[in-house]
Amino acid sequence: MDRVTAAKVFIDVAQSRSFTVTAERLNMSRPMVTRYMEAMEDWLKTRLLHRTTRKISLTTAGEACLKDVELWLEQAEKITALANSGKELSGLVRITTSMSFGFSQLMPAIQDFMQLYPKVRVDIDLEDSTADLTEKSIDLAIRIASNPDPSLIGKPIAVCESVLVASPEYLDQAQQALGRIQQPQDLSPHDCLGYKNFEQHIWHLSKHDQFESITVDCRLTINEATAILHGTLNGVGISMLPTYLANRYINDRHLCHVLPEWKPKDLIIYALYSSRKHLSPNVRALIDHLEQYFAEHPW
């Protein structure tokens, strides 16, 4: 049997502690997972797993050799990638990203990538919560962060800028009661929209060498940026949105740029992958493509 696949099965079972889960993640039958594990133990001439009806755990020998098997698999995949470097890319790439970035920016970039590599298949999982890449067999996560998960390896591929925006209707009505918004402190009495996962809603703004942190009243909180965008368009209040969502509506005058001289903190858009995974040619090509595409297609 293929020792590279057997090593993948062993590593996955060590993480999942379930033959059934590994079978689903590696797209093979449960009996095939059992056969690969038996072959792995035969090749290493040692028992790697304790198996009971309720759980699976690593033996002492399994724990001892797991890291070496991971290193061996990484080297084997590097050699395979070098051998196949001249061949046309093919196979499946699984990606996860946020819903707002997925539909507004990732989809056109992926369409362009798939036209370049017609034999590559792409599966995209849209969610705003942080996914366990190993558990879900995700090859690549596109995330916006100031400090990415240290357990993952990442490459910056773009910058995420943000702006304060509101609908013209909201500003017209609010100005009559609260006056014009001229300084960051003027935001405090306004209705604002915020992200649900933040306990406190503090907007950090800068203007040249000036910095202000303003606590805002978010009567409406939502866990997804696209919904915040549409709440803002409907006149609910002022929001802080990424420019990749807001710019088109600012240009169309459906949204007004509030305090344009004051800038929220920039975040970095990362391409992240598990440190346990060596980059396949498909994933490496996709990361390079996304970095170049976003540089050539600013939002």
The answer on 127 and 254 residing in a single domain is no
The answer on 146 and 75 residing in a single domain is no
The answer on 127 and 40 residing in a single domain is no
Check which CATH number belongs to the domain holding 124 and give it: 3.40.190.10
Which of 60, 83, 106 finishes a domain?
Answer: 83
The answer on 142 and 273 residing in a single domain is yes
The answer on 289 and 149 residing in a single domain is yes
Check which CATH number belongs to the domain holding 239 and give it: 3.40.190.290
pLDDT at 55 over 90: no
Dist CA 42 CA 35 (whole Å): 10
Which of 50, 83, 116 finishes a domain?
Answer: 83
pLDDT band with cut points at 50, 70 and 90 for residue 79: confident
Are 250 and 163 in contact by the 8 Å Cβ rule? The answer is yes
The answer on 78 and 7 residing in a single domain is yes
The answer on 275 and 256 residing in a single domain is no
Buried residues in 5-14 as b, exposed as e (16+ CB within 10 A): bbbbbbbbbb
Mean pLDDT (the chain) is 90
DSSP state of 186: G
How many Cβ atoms are within 10 Å of 184's Cβ, its own excluded? 21
Higher-confidence residue of 255 and 27: namely 255
Q: Classify 6 in phi/psi space as left (phi over 0), alpha (psi -120 to 50) or beta.
A: alpha
Q: Give the pLDDT confidence of 130-176 residue by residue, as tens digits.
A: 667 767 778 999 999 877 777 788 899 999 999 999 999 999 999 99
Q: What are phi and psi of 162, to 5 degrees?
A: -130, 160
For residue 255, with 0-12 CB atoms within 10 Å meaning exposed, 13-18 middle and 19 or more buried, which class applies? buried
Spatial strand order of the sheet with 191-195 comes to 217-222, 191-195, 238-242, 162-166, 256-258
pLDDT at site 128:
77
Higher-confidence residue of 16 and 115: namely 115
Which of 57, 83, 109 finishes a domain?
Answer: 83
pLDDT at site 82:
62
The answer on 56 and 8 residing in a single domain is yes
The answer on 242 and 193 residing in a single domain is yes
Q: What is the mean pLDDT of residues 236-257?
A: 97
The answer on 282 and 256 residing in a single domain is no
Check which CATH number belongs to the domain holding 15 and give it: 1.10.10.10
Domains in the chain, number: 3
Enclosing domain of residue 41? 3-83
pLDDT at 6 over 80: yes
The answer on 258 and 168 residing in a single domain is yes
pLDDT at 100 over 90: yes
The answer on 62 and 28 residing in a single domain is yes
